[in-house]
């Protein structure tokens, strides 16, 4: 990870920024809470790594820690799930499904903080 934004040729509406951070994924309705790692994030969603597969279409709550020590929990949907080549991990594509203005603002602030940290690293 070199801290530069990803400019993939996929159909994403927003730039993704690389990140290594922990998150918990809790399926809504049923299923165990999974410990995951965020590998990139943008305003529309994020990509996780998990030791467990998750059914595409699963709605879930994802909880991450923030720099100031508070937790951010938001609603999301699994858009794709595939085994990572050469690893015992699954890559999960996640789309944000914010349910309120406060949740949208929390997501935007979290993504902005990731962007700001990367800009600060590049400036030093």
**pTM for the whole structure:** 0.80
Confidence of residue 25 (pLDDT cuts 50, 70, 90): very high
DSSP of 71-121: EEEEEEEEEEEEEPTTSS-EEEEEEE---SHHHHHHHHHHHHHHHHHHHHH
pLDDT tens for 70-100 read 888 999 999 999 999 999 999 999 999 999 9
pLDDT for 67: 66
Q: Which residues contact 110 (CB under 8 A, 6 or more apart)?
A: 41, 64, 66, 72
The architecture CATH gives domain 17-123: Beta Barrel (2.40)
Compute how many other C-beta atoms are within 10 angstroms of the C-beta atom of residue 14.
12
Cβ atoms of 75 and 103 closer than 8 Å: yes
**pLDDT tops 50 at residue 6:** no
């Amino acid at each position: 990870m070199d801290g530069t934004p990803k400019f993939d040729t996929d159909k994403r509406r927003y730039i993704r920024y690389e990140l290594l951070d922990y998150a918990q994924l809790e399926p809504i309705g049923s299923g165990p809470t999974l410990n995951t790692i965020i590998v990139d994030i943008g305003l529309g969603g994020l990509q996780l790594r998990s030791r467990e597969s998750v059914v595409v279409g699963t709605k879930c709550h994802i909880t991450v820690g923030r720099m100031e020590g508070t937790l951010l929990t938001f609603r999301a949907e699994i858009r794709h799930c595939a085994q990572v080549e050469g690893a015992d991990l699954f890559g999960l594509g996640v789309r944000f499904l914010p349910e309120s203005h406060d949740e949208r603002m929390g997501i935007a602030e979290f993504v902005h903080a990731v962007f700001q940290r990367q800009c600060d690293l590049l400036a030093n």
